[in-house]
Structures are given as C-alpha cells and as structure tokens.
C-alpha cells in the first residue's frame, strides 16, 4: 500500500504580508492569491521494521531513524519530522513505522509558499493513511500550527490555506488565528485571460524570508507609520484585485500589481534590491503594466502582467537576465490524496 498526496503552490496577487502577525491580529489582513500547477508531493509507504525513513528527493536528503514517538528537531528534514511529531502527539499516541518521500516542484525560498505547501501535503498523506477526521480548515490550521508554533518558523497564514483549498481565493485574517477563505467564482474566460497575461519568472535566486518577515514584524511592533501605512494600502489592493477579477476588468490588474509593489517595498528593507529593480524596469519597458515579487521578497519568483501580445516581448526581454520563465496553469483543486 502506498499513500500519496499533492498540494499546489500559490502566487500572491495582492495583500501579501497582511497575513503576518502582529499586523493581522491588530488590524486584520486580507490577501488574494491563486494556486498554480506546481506542486509539493508526499508519499507514505507503511512498514513493519521498526524504522522511519525520511527522504526529501529534491533536496537529496535521506535519513533512517528508529521508530519513536518523538523525532528530534535538529535541522535535518525538520518539516517532515515536525508533521510526524504532531500527528503522533495529537492523534496516534504511539510510534509509527513507514517510509516518507517528498518532492517539491520549486526550491525553498522561491516565494511560492513551498515550505508550507509541503507541510500541507505531508499532513494530507497522514490524514489519508490514518483516516483522521480533519476537514480543509482543520488541515490548514494544523499545518500552520506545526510550522509557526512547533517549529518556530517565521511567516504568515496564507500559504497553508491556499495549498489546502486551491483555486483563486480572497482570504481574511483576524486575531486568534481566525481565517476565512472566500473562493471566487470567476468566469472561465476571465481566468483564461488572467492566465494568458500573467508571466511567472524565476530569478534563479532564493532568499531567507524569515529575515524580511522579522523586520516587518518589528516595524509593526514599533508602530512604524510608513510600514503600517503600506500594509493598509496592500490590504486595499486585495479588494481592488478581487473586484477587477470578478468583473472581468482583467487589464486593470497590471496597475493594481504595480501600486501594490510600490507599497510592498515600504514594509521592510530587503524586499527589493538593484537586481530586482533592473528586472522590473526592463519588464515595464517590454510592455508589462505591473508586477511584483511573489512572497516575502528579496528573490525567488516575480510575476508580471502583460496585456495584448506584450507577453511574448516580455519573455524575450526577461531571458537576458539569466532566469527562467515558468510555464504554468491556474488550478482549481487544492490538496488531493489517494491510496494505491
């Protein structure tokens, strides 16, 4: 028997950063994101040899451990260990013996929520295997709790919910970890136009998002007016983005992205840099009407909106920066699990 799961990565279209505490606790956050056809995968093969095999295929990391109720969090495959520890602690209360294999279509630090999506995929595999009574909100919140509370990893709340629910969602974040996911019912032709005109570009760099998120958190705690004001504007951008997509005013998305990017750079230092600025300026010259970094900033993936046929000139221009344009589709399905 093999238990499999996959969960989609996401691109953040508007409001990114307003899902991070303490801003979301004090003011309430709002984000609009969309999942894409890049995935985190997890496969579990139950065994009876008293061993736990953890294998991150994309990272070339593999360890074999004795089956115990708690696996030490020591910097080696912490995400995999963290999920196992929590599943045993909350539901099973005894050691398990199995082989867990994982793979992610995008590298860590890419800005597509890869770490959180991987946690969702692993949780989903355990839920499928052990028939745990968890719904979508339960899985997303458990994944958030494992990553942010158990493993003390800095970040927001959107990634776990995007990976679990899938599709284009407007998400609201409140105090006490309250999250409301609003799936958007978008006409197919509007989604197709959005997909056609959005270019996803990997800068071939990754970044440690925790450093940027810490600065953002410190700025809110210090009541830094420019940072908090920028987050207020980003939250407003998510409403504008939702309205534009639902109404089919797709070509207004470029300006919304551009305005959001200008405000996002004010949240914390390091969100942009000379390399990113050069790529962004070249994209505008090639016909893009706006864009942004996907994720906390500093590197990883960028997204650009290029209407009409400017997409093709944009792709040609971006090729001179040494990165790569990623082919993708917008997806409607979130976490998926099955047993073979």
Model confidence over 76-102: pLDDT tens digits? Answer: 999 999 999 999 999 999 999 999 999
Quick one: 139 and 48 in the same domain? yes
Residues 23 and 157 in one domain: yes
Q: Which domain covers residue 169, as residue numbers?
A: 3-185+331-339
Run of H or E residues at 65: strand 61-66
Coil, strand or helix at 165: helix
Q: Are 276 and 167 part of one and the same domain? A: no
Averaged over 200-204, what is the pLDDT?
91
pLDDT at residue 208, as a whole number: 61
Q: Are residues 171 and 317 in the same domain?
A: no
Q: Are residues 162 and 81 in the same domain?
A: yes
CATH of residue 251's domain is 3.30.70.890
CATH number of the domain bearing residue 42:
3.30.230.10
Give the pLDDT confidence score for residue 207 in this predicted structure. Answer: 62
Same domain, 39 and 169: yes
This prediction has a pTM of 0.94
Same domain for 166 and 232, yes or no, is no
pLDDT in tens, 256-311: 999 999 998 888 888 888 999 999 999 999 999 999 998 877 788 999 999 999 99
Q: What is the pLDDT of residue 174?
A: 93
Domain co-membership, 279 together with 230:
yes
Return the minimum-mean-pLDDT range out of 104-113, 189-198, 201-210, 296-305: 201-210
| Sign of the Cα pseudo-torsion (252, 258, 263, 267, in order) | positive
Q: Is the pLDDT of residue 124 over 90?
A: yes
Token output for 295: 């994720």
Please check whether residues 56 and 87 belong to one and the same domain. yes
Q: Number of folded domains in the chain?
A: 2
Catalytic residues: 159
pLDDT at 38 (0 to 100): 97
Residues 107, 204: Cα–Cα separation, whole Å: 10
Same domain, 166 and 302: no
């Amino acid at each position: 028997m093999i238990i499999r799961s996959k969960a989609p990565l996401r691109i953040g279209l508007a409001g990114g950063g307003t899902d991070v505490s303490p801003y979301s606790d004090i003011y309430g956050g709002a984000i609009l994101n969309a999942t894409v056809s890049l995935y985190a995968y997890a496969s579990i093969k139950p065994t009876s040899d008293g061993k736990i095999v953890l294998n991150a295929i994309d990272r070339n990391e593999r360890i074999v451990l004795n089956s115990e109720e708690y696996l030490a969090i020591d910097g080696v495959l912490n995400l995999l260990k963290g999920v196992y520890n929590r599943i045993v602690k909350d539901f099973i209360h005894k050691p398990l013996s199995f082989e867990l294999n994982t793979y992610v279509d995008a590298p860590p630090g890419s800005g597509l929520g890869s770490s959180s999506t991987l946690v969702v995929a692993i949780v989903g595999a355990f839920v499928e295997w052990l028939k745990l009574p968890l719904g979508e909100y339960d899985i997303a919140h458990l994944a958030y709790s494992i990553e942010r509370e158990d493993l003390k990893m800095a970040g927001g709340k959107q990634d776990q919910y995007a990976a679990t629910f899938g599709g284009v969602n407007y998400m609201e974040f409140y105090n006490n970890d309250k999250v409301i996911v609003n799936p958007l019912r978008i006409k197919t032709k509007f989604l197709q136009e959005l997909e056609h005109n959005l270019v996803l570009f990997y800068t071939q760099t990754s970044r440690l998002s925790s450093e940027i998120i810490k600065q953002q958190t410190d700025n809110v705690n210090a009541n830094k007016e420019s940072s908090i004001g920028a987050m207020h504007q980003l939250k407003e951008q998510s409403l504008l983005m939702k309205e534009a997509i639902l109404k089919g005013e797709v070509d207004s998305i470029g300006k919304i992205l551009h305005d959001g990017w200008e405000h996002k750079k004010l949240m914390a230092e390091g969100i942009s840099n000379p390399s990113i600025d050069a790529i962004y300026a070249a994209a505008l010259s090639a016909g893009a009407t706006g864009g942004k970094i996907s994720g906390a900033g500093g590197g990883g993936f960028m997204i650009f909106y290029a209407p009409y046929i400017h997409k093709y000139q944009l792709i040609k221009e971006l090729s001179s920066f040494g990165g790569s344009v990623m082919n993708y589709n917008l997806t409607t399905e979130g976490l998926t699990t099955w047993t073979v």
